[in-house]
Amino acid sequence: MDDSIKQLAHQLVEKISRAVRKESKQNFYKLGKTVGLGADGTPTSYIDQIAEDVALKLLQKAKAPVNLLSEEIGFVDFHGDYVFVLDPVDGTRNASRGIPFYSVSLAVGTSHIHDVTYGIVKNIPTGDVFSAEKHHGAFFNTTPIRVCDVPSTHIVSSIALGKNYTTTAGALSKKHNVRSFGAASLEMCMVALGGLDYYYVGRDVMRVVDIAASTLIVREAGGVVKNRRGEDLDMPFSLTEHTSVLAACSEHLATQLLSKA
């Protein structure tokens, strides 16, 4: 992929991150306020709108061959060869309540998760950046990363619970060291980094904008990304499709976890 496209992607992520950080300091109690309905049918919060405005302005100005698919605004056709698949704020609820675990997620591809060639996830509160290029590995800032060794002595997982509770999630939540952070892209990057052994969402609630970048990052770090039926995860660049997710440090662990389901 052209270096100028990668640079544009990083520039976009940095600009959004800066805008969100600024708002989180200045307008703390406004961040989660609903300002309308997004293209995916869910309410748009103030913070999502701020972030998308930044994205649109930059892409209009850049005149690069890049279209945009974003959570709230939907698909914007700039007659490009690539699509930027963007979640301007993943973990909006955390962001809007001051919980320091949320991110910007941006994937570059053409039509499906399987053809994503570049992915960036930036942890906004800490400033750390995860990235991956297809066939070139995954990085935490500038350091190459790998999923954790198998078998891990003390398994640490992150599991979607509450509204996204399923029987399998419930069974898994009784074992090991369980976390649940509420920002899928960043939780998947924790698998890529070796921080988590696996991340599980049992319900069909994840959209392509949430997971397109982090799926590449996990795979390039040596991990696997599946749906709850154990199929390698793929989905089109569309806001109407939803999926379950199992990101794990190994095929073996993924099989083990799903066979107990």
Q: Rounded to 5 degrees, what are φ and ψ at 47?
A: -70, -35
| x-marked contacts with a second copy along 129-158 as a string, rule CB under 8 A | -----------x-------x-----x-xx-
Contacts of 37 by beta carbon, 8 Å cutoff, 6+ apart: 43, 44
Q: Which stretch binds a second copy (CB under 8 A): 1-9, 77-85, 193-201, 250-258?
A: 193-201
User: Between residue 196 and residue 225, which ones bind a second copy under the rule CB under 8 A?
Assistant: 196
- Quote the CA–CA distance of 159 and 199 in Å, as a whole number: 6
Residues facing 83 on adjacent strands: 67, 109
Tell me the number of residues near a second copy by CB under 8 A: 37
Q: State yes or no: residue 229 binds a second copy (CB under 8 A).
A: no
Q: State yes or no: residue 88 binds a second copy (CB under 8 A).
A: no
* Given 14, 112, 181, 242, the residue binding a second copy (CB under 8 A): 181
Q: Which is nearer to a second copy, 67 or 158 (CB)?
A: 158
Q: State yes or no: residue 98 binds a second copy (CB under 8 A).
A: yes
- Quote the CA–CA distance of 126 and 6 in Å, as a whole number: 22
Contacts of 157 by beta carbon, 8 Å cutoff, 6+ apart: 172, 175, 176, 177, 178, 179, 196, 197, 198, 199, 200
CB of 61 to a second copy, least distance (A): 31
User: Between residue 46 and residue 85, which ones bind a second copy under the rule CB under 8 A?
Assistant: none
40 closest CA partner among 210, 242, 206, 239: 239
Q: How far is CA 253 from CA 36, 218, 246, 256, in A?
A: 41, 14, 10, 5
Q: What is the largest CA-CA distance in the chain?
A: 51
Q: Which is nearer to a second copy, 89 or 116 (CB)?
A: 89
CB of 212 to a second copy, least distance (A): 22
CB of 213 to a second copy, least distance (A): 18
Sheet holding 74-76, edge to edge: 74-76, 66-70, 82-90, 103-109, 118-123, 129-133, 138-140, 143-145
CB of 19 to a second copy, least distance (A): 18
Q: Which is nearer to a second copy, 178 or 261 (CB)?
A: 178
* Given 3, 26, 162, 231, the residue binding a second copy (CB under 8 A): 162
* Given 6, 112, 179, 203, the residue binding a second copy (CB under 8 A): 179
Contacts of 93 by beta carbon, 8 Å cutoff, 6+ apart: 32, 99, 182
- Quote the CA–CA distance of 218 and 231 in Å, as a whole number: 15
CB of 132 to a second copy, least distance (A): 16
Q: State yes or no: residue 176 binds a second copy (CB under 8 A).
A: yes
- Quote the CA–CA distance of 15 and 9 in Å, as a whole number: 10
Site residues (vs a second copy, CB under 8 A): 93-94, 97-101, 123, 125-126, 128, 140, 148, 154, 156-157, 159, 161-163, 165, 170, 173-182, 190, 193-196
